[in-house]
């Protein structure tokens, strides 16, 4: 897991600069300080900063267990206000200098960072419990009714909980986060889950796992959207990360671990003395536009680059604009969808869209295009529909990057847009205008006609009253 800054930025640039100037003799002293590779219960560890500027503290680390290059303990941001319980790699240079880079390979309760004075406790009842400074329970591994007597860190980097007979009751390798380490297995039903961003270690949208015997990478939305599928191997119940490959995924060079990044890419890394080295190419054999966030949300990805959905149209009215100077980071609607103005919702049509694996997540129920549009218009949370031309459509609550393939007509995407009341009354003024359904135009005509009729009726009533009053006034003057 790449280190974070917001929730868990464990090695910001300033920390690395500090480490580069620590004398090697200091490192030697730090390594003399003994940390066990296992502890017996009951025992407890408080997340308390040390007053000494030690080797570990300079990296925001408060070790509990150490085995070779692996460290288990509290690891905090540079400010010290966000901490996680993690297993990290600490690999120093063989020449004795101070260059090193900590790399997290597993984290407990990654969505719930703790504060200073948080407590990790191996209780007398045989449970491992993490509590925050206010005594709130944050995390505890599921060990059923089995009693834990020992907490140990293995040579392969797995944290293990053992019972009195030294049998493994629980281990971190069975509960991966976004990293698989060499020798670790990914079983059917398990998944890697990306971080939100390189600066936020909480769980993001991307996931990678084995579904029905197939390696599947998908973005965990409603509904989920796949962007990669490949058979695992002959045994489709699990895959082990070994030297040279991970199931059917082959690596060109040796690697220590693989990680599902916050951008959805699955990459293999080797840990060098100089830091982290990306090994070879992306392990998922797909082009850049196939990634759901290649051009950010609402961005259209093609061979020419990123653009907004209506960049290529001759629309007199623009519906989208880039988030930044270009559309590389996505686009946003100029007029956000308003549920209160659902009468003026329409669709912007995009053809030649690659809807890879769409059939895998579509239900067997067929639906005509107009019925599909109608269903989306009645659901304010629906932001777009994908239609494969065979009476099957998918309603999307989020719009990620749209992959456009010239020369292919895989499917059509209809993006819901918000139009002004004035524009929606005359949508036919431009052939490239979004398609506002006939029922909307009919409703508009009925409403406008009723309003004009009411105004005309009121005018007649007032005119009649005015004339009557005028005649009464004239007759009164004659009588007088």
* Per-residue model confidence as pLDDT tens digits over 319-343: 999 999 899 999 999 999 988 888 8
- Provide the 8-state DSSP code for 340: G
- 203 within some domain: no
Q: Under 8 Å CB-to-CB from 272, ≥6 apart: which residues?
A: none
Q: Is the pLDDT of residue 222 over 60?
A: yes
Question: Residue 428 has what DSSP assignment?
Answer: G
- At residue 374, the pLDDT reads 93
Residues 66, 111 within the same domain = yes
Domain count, the chain: 3
Query: pLDDT tens-digit profile of 260-291?
Result: 999 999 999 887 766 678 887 789 988 899 99
Say yes or no: 350 and 395 in one domain. Answer: yes
The confidence band for 3, taking pLDDT boundaries of 50, 70 and 90, is very low
CA distance 265 to 259: 8
pLDDT attached to residue 388: 79
**DSSP summary character for residue 435:** B
* One domain for residues 429 and 447: no
Neighbours of 396 (CB within 10 A): 22
**DSSP characters for 331-350?**
EEESS---GGGGGGEEEEEE
- Distance between CA 338 and CA 357 in Å, rounded? 31
Q: Flag whether 37 is in a domain.
A: yes
Residue 463 lies in a domain: yes
389 CB-side CA count, 13 A: 9
Q: Considering the domain boundaries, does residue 281 fall inside one? A: no
Structural domain ending residue among the three candidates 116, 134, 152: 134
Q: Does some domain include residue 316?
A: yes
Q: Tell the burial category of 107 from Cβ atoms under 10 Å away from its Cβ (0-12, 13-18, 19+).
A: buried
With CA atoms as reference, report the closest residue to 91 among 273, 249, 349, 246: 273
The pLDDT tens digits of the residues spanning 347-398 come to 999 887 876 677 666 655 677 899 999 999 999 999 999 887 777 788 889 9
Q: Examine the domain organization and report whether 126 and 108 are in the same domain.
A: yes
Q: Which of the four pLDDT bands, split at 50, 70 and 90, describes residue 56?
A: confident
Name residue 331's beta-bridge partners: 322
Same domain, yes or no, for 462 and 370? no
Q: Which domain holds residue 476?
A: 442-480
- From 134, 161, 179, the end of a domain falls on 134
> Is residue 162 in a domain?
no
Q: Write down which residue in 80, 109, 134 finishes a domain.
A: 134
Residue 302 sits in the same domain as residue 429: yes
If one compares 421 and 333, the residue with the highest pLDDT of the two is: 333
CA distance 240 to 37: 25
Q: Does residue 304 belong to any structural domain of this protein?
A: yes
Do 463 and 424 share a structural domain? no
Q: Which of 41, 40, 35 is nearest to 63 (CA)?
A: 35
| Residue matched to tokens 């407590």 | 119
If asked whether residues 403 and 466 sit together in one domain, one would say no
Same domain as 366, residue 412 = yes
Is 210 a domain residue?
no
- Looking at the structure, do residues 464 and 382 belong to the same domain, yes or no? no
Verify that 409 and 454 share a domain, yes or no.
Answer: no
Instruction: Please tell me whether residues 422 and 478 are part of one structural domain.
Output: no
CA 359 to chain centre: 23
């Amino acid at each position: 897991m790449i280190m974070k800054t917001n929730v868990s930025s464990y090695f910001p640039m300033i920390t690395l600069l500090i480490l580069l100037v620590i004398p090697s003799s200091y490192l030697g002293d730090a390594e003399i300080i003994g940390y066990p590779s296992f502890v017996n219960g009951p025992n407890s560890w408080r997340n308390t900063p040390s007053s000494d500027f030690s080797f570990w503290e300079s990296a925001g680390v408060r070790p509990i267990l150490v085995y070779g290059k692996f460290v288990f303990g509290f690891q905090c941001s540079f400010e010290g206000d966000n901490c996680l319980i993690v297993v990290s790699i600490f690999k120093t240079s063989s020449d004795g200098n101070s260059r090193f880079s900590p790399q997290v390979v597993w984290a407990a309760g990654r969505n719930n960072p703790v504060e200073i004075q948080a407590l990790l406790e191996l209780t007398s009842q045989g449970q491992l419990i993490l509590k925050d400074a206010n005594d709130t329970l944050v995390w505890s591994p599921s060990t059923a009714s089995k009693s834990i007597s020992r907490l140990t860190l293995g040579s392969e980097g797995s944290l293990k909980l053992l019972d009195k007979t030294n049998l493994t009751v629980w281990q971190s390798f069975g509960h991966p986060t976004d990293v698989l380490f060499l020798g670790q297995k990914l079983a059917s039903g398990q998944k890697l889950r990306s971080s939100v961003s390189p600066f936020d270690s909480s769980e993001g949208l991307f996931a990678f796992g084995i579904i029905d015997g197939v390696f599947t990478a998908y973005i965990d939305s409603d509904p989920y959207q796949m962007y990669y599928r490949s058979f695992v191997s002959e045994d489709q119940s699990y895959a082990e990360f070994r030297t040279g490959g991970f199931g059917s995924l082959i690596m060109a060079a040796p690697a220590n671990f693989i990680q599902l990044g916050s951008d959805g890419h699955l990459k293999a890394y080797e840990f060098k003395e100089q830091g982290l080295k990306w090994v070879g190419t992306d392990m998922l054999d797909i082009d850049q536009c196939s990634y759901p966030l290649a051009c950010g949300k609402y961005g259209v990805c093609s061979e020419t680059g990123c653009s907004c959905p209506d960049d290529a149209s001759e629309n007199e009215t623009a519906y989208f604009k880039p988030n930044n100077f270009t559309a590389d980071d996505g686009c946003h609607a100029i007029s956000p969808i308003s549920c209160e103005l659902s009468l003026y919702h329409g669709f912007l049509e995009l053809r030649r869209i690659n809807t890879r694996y769409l059939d895998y997540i579509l239900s067997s129920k067929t639906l005509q295009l107009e019925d599909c549009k109608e269903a989306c218009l009645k659901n304010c949370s629906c932001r777009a529909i994908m239609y494969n031309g065979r009476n099957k459509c998918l309603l999307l609550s989020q719009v990620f990057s749209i992959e456009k393939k010239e020369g292919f007509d895989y499917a059509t995407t209809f993006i819901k847009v918000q139009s002004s009341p004035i524009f929606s009354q005359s949508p036919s003024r431009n052939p490239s205008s979004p398609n506002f359904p006939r029922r909307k135009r009919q409703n508009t005509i009925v409403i406008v006609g009723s309003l004009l009729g009411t105004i005309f009726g009121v005018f007649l009533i007032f005119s009649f009253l005015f004339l009557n009053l005028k005649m009464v006034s004239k007759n009164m003057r004659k009588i007088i």
